[in-house]
Amino acid sequence: VQLQASGGGLVQAGGSLRLSCVASGPTFDSYAMGWFRQAPGKEREFVGTISGSGTTTDYAESVKGRFTISRDNVKNTVCLQMNSLKPEDTAVYYCAASWIYSRPAGKYNYWGQGTLVTVSS
């Protein structure tokens, strides 16, 4: 599975941004899809994940209520809608695929290249 993330950019605090991740290869709906982020000087952290069917989602407390993950298994795409952005959301965002619906980054087998989100105050 190859993953290509896009949609990052510069946005003001309080604004919104939508990230997309397109997957190549068959059986996309077999994978849980996660979003992670890594801020400068910090470790990569879990943002959220969605099950293969798209019926179940899980979010980090820091983004719950502001971020929403969705997927389209026909288009092999997963999206991260980010609202009410804060400067502390500034990071490189990565999409990842896993056979297991879970939070730990180590459970994810395939990773996209990352897309930079910068939130100005």
Tens-digit pLDDT string for the chain (121 aa): 999 999 999 999 999 999 999 999 889 999 999 999 999 999 999 999 999 999 999 999 999 999 999 999 999 999 999 999 999 999 999 999 999 999 999 999 999 999 999 999 9
Task: Count how many Cα atoms sit within 13 Å of the Cα of residue 48 in the half-sphere of its side chain.
Answer: 23
pLDDT at 98: 97
Q: What is the three-class DSSP state of 28?
A: helix
Total number of residues shown for the chain: 121
Strand partners, 119: 11
| Beta-sheet pairing, 57-59 with 45-50 | antiparallel
